Amino acid sequence: MFKIIIGVVIAAAVLIVGFMMIDPKVTKTAKTADTTLVVEGEGGSKYTIEGEVNKPGTYSLNENITLADLIQASGGTTNNADDLAYFSEAPLKAGNTYYIASKYDNTDICNSSAINKVNINADDAEKLTSVNGITSSIASSIVSYRTSNGIFKTIEQLTEVYGIGNATYRKVRNYVILHT
């Protein structure tokens, strides 16, 4: 019985080494990270980017950067990135996470039509309520916020609106744009 166990262990080791030689992309560790940390320059601040970028992750960059700088550090946007959902020149705050929304629904590979979105910088409260997750009171708060503070420069500013927490923000972030 002991010889059989030893034989199985040796055979498994040989197979693993063989597969690693066939496919060199296979890593020796079973756990992989979901994000990447890239350091560009010393003493930089950390910014995280998610969504439709080629390399989502956390990046250590210099202070006073724009969203365009962060997108460039992350390898650019994908073909599915909605360029109406962000301003490239928007200044970023260190330590925050930024999201690049998609044009098309990622869960439906057969769908070739764009997601119906509302413009949080231009649409009235009634139109904003067409998004699942934006109630009439939240829509009124969005309009009040933009009247008091000016236009939204990033989608993440929605979390500053009264009534929008992280859950609501995550639910609506693919269904809003900032400009036309």
Instruction: Provide the number of structural domains found in the chain.
Output: 2
- pLDDT tens by residue, 49-100: 999 999 999 999 998 999 999 999 999 999 999 999 999 999 999 999 999 9
Same-domain check for residues 89 and 128:
no
Domain C-terminal end among 100, 134, 153: 100
In eight-state DSSP terms, residue 45 is E
Question: At 127, which CATH number?
Answer: 1.10.150.280
Q: Is residue 6 part of a domain?
A: no
Average pLDDT over residues 173-177: 97
Average pLDDT over residues 136-144: 97
Q: Is residue 124 part of a domain?
A: yes
The per-residue pLDDT of the chain, averaged, comes to: 87
Distance CA(176)–CA(169), nearest Å, equals 10
Pairing of strands 118-119, 176-177: parallel
Range of the domain at 51: 37-100
- The pLDDT value recorded for residue 26 is 41
% residues pLDDT > 70 (the chain): 86
Same-domain check for residues 128 and 83:
no
Same-domain check for residues 93 and 41:
yes
- The pLDDT value recorded for residue 108 is 76
Same-domain check for residues 52 and 92:
yes
Q: Is residue 109 part of a domain?
A: no
Q: Is residue 86 part of a domain?
A: yes
Helix H or strand E segment including 30:
none
Same-domain check for residues 43 and 85:
yes
Residue 82 · residue 52 · CB < 8 Å? yes
Angle of CA points 43, 87, 44, to nearest 5°: 0
Same-domain check for residues 79 and 131:
no
- pLDDT tens by residue, 145-160: 999 999 999 999 999 9
- The pLDDT value recorded for residue 5 is 86
Distances (CA, A) of 69 to 56, 61, 72: 14, 9, 5
Q: Is residue 11 part of a domain?
A: no
- The pLDDT value recorded for residue 114 is 87
pLDDT score of 30 more than 50 = no
Tell me which of 32-41, 143-152, 156-165 is least confident: 32-41
Same-domain check for residues 142 and 168:
yes
Q: Is residue 8 part of a domain?
A: no
Q: Is residue 5 part of a domain?
A: no
Distances (CA, A) of 85 to 40, 61, 80, 115, 168: 26, 23, 12, 12, 17
Q: Is residue 142 part of a domain?
A: yes
